[in-house]
Amino acid sequence: MTATPILEMKDISRRFGQFYALKEVNLTVYPGEVHALMGENGAGKSTLMKILAGAYSASSGEILIDGQPKAIKGPKDALAAGITLIYQEINLAPNLTVAENIFLGSEIQRGGLVKRRQMAQEAQQVINRLGAQFKSTDLVMKLSIAEQQQVEIARALHRNSRILVMDEPTAALSSRETEQLFALIKRLRSEGMAIIYISHRMAEVYELSDRVSVLRDGQYVGSLTRDNLNANELVRMMVGRPLSDLFNKDNTIDTGAARLTVTDLTDGGKVHPCSLTVHAGEIVGLAGLVGAGRSELAQLIFGVHKASGGTVAIDSQTVTINSPRDAIAQGIGFLTENRKEQGLFLELAAHENIVMATIERDANYGLLNRRKGQKISGEAIQSLNIRVPHAQVRAGGLSGGNQQKLLISRWVAIGPRILLLDEPTRGVDVGAKSEIYRMMNQMARQGVAILMISSELPEVVGMSDRVYVMREGGIAGELQGDSITQENIMTLATGVDLPQPVNA
């Protein structure tokens, strides 16, 4: 690592009215390093990077590039200083070609005419440098999210950017696309580019980062080098408590009788006949590899798809569920794994999203009961600590963690007997995870039966009273007590026989 930092942000503060979003924050980045920036939602990460990119101005503090003070009063100043910020939401013109997007605002012109052929040729050279498979003449709207991300990086390279900021770049990528992005990031690092990588995903930070800096409540907490990276210490820096306190599973809850009983439920295709039981007050994990049929089984229980065989019983009474409306009427709530496309109404207010499942129930002679709806949403926002300025704020403008809590509060509002939670903490930071786990324990104490689908094995082990493991559309086995380990879950999920215990 060179002695001279490429970037120093010193004592950066940003105030909105009387509220400090940032207070005397410091950040130092060197050429040829991936510097991860971590912290809970609302910790100030995005605000700090928007100041660096010129979208916000700092209330106080200074920015140094190559040791020299640099006044960044707007995005043009940032670009001139070699700084590019790639936002989580892709910022491209979809109706233009790749080349036109790369040159947008700096088109090659001669005699008042745009030299499109020359632009396409120069853009293709940058694309080839990235190893991308698309062409400079392709329309951006026809590219995948991962390819559009590569266009943004190509634009940064074309601008000779030396500092690249990436905000949650893998949020919408598949595993294969994520691997390709990581390979590209490592190549850019080897070429001397400084990369500031914002992520809440520990695995990504461990794989990519040379150093990690942590913000909490708008203040700089500290930094760790790659040699000193420690999950427990990172969590403690981010939320002020150790990793061991994150799940805080309540093992004192007394479980009742079987609340949900699924017997030989099948769709005749993806889901083979499956049987499972969840008792009142119990959190049961549903684990397995991607494609094992976990989400599809939950959708059958909730009536999203119609079962071709098998039964569902609630409190020992067989029920008929042909639609989600039938399921809700039976007291079943279902948190979908894809909150943006299948769960939330992004253009509606937070309040409207919360009461969406109770509007019909609480209506008086067909008229909306606005007072009751406001009471429900107000209590939900307070109970789950949903960070919104007011209940009328648009759901699409909230952070991932707050969106997830918003969706969970919708199902809490119906007073459920059964909660089906599909990837309840996907895409949220550790602080929001802790609050979701607290809610799950609270609902279990109230006698709610919870079936939790999760791909995070520590979450399954940390929160489950029992675990069913699915493989290739069927239930491969059940684990309980001390047998709930990551090793045993993976053994069942991959089809390898569990090792037999050795008699003493």
Count CB neighbours of 310 within 10 A: 17
Chain-centre distance for alpha carbon 480:
29
> For residue 77, what are the contacts with CB-CB under 8 A and spacing of at least 6?
54, 70, 71
The string of DSSP codes covering 353-369 is: HHTTTTHHHH-BTTB--
- Distance, in Å, from the CA atom of 72 to the CA atom of 57, rounded to the nearest integer, reads 8
Residue (of 399, 455, 388) closest to 424 by Cα position:
455
**pLDDT given at position 444:** 92
CATH number of the 7-245 domain: 3.40.50.300
Whether pTM > 0.95 for this model: the answer is no
**Strand 418-422 to 449-453 pairing:** parallel
Helix (H, G, I), strand (E, B) or coil at 312: strand
The predicted pLDDT at position 504 comes to: 33
DSSP-derived secondary structure letter, 120: H
- By the 8 A CB rule, do 392 and 306 touch? no
Q: Torsion angle, CA of 440/442/444/446, rounded to 10 degrees? A: -150
- Which pLDDT belongs to residue 90? 79
- Residue 68, judged by CB atoms within 10 A of its CB (0-12, 13-18, 19+), counts as exposed
Positions of CATH 3.40.50.300 in the chain: 7-245, 255-331+415-494
Residue ranges in the chain modelled with pLDDT below 70 = 1-2, 41-42, 241-245, 338-393, 395-401, 496-504
Q: What is the pLDDT of residue 349?
A: 66
pLDDT for residue 425: 85
- Determine contact, residues 10/62, Cβ cutoff 8 Å: yes
Indicate the fold that domain 255-331+415-494 takes in CATH: Rossmann fold (3.40.50)
- For 159-201, what is each residue's pLDDT tens digit? 889 999 988 888 777 778 888 889 889 999 999 999 999 987 7
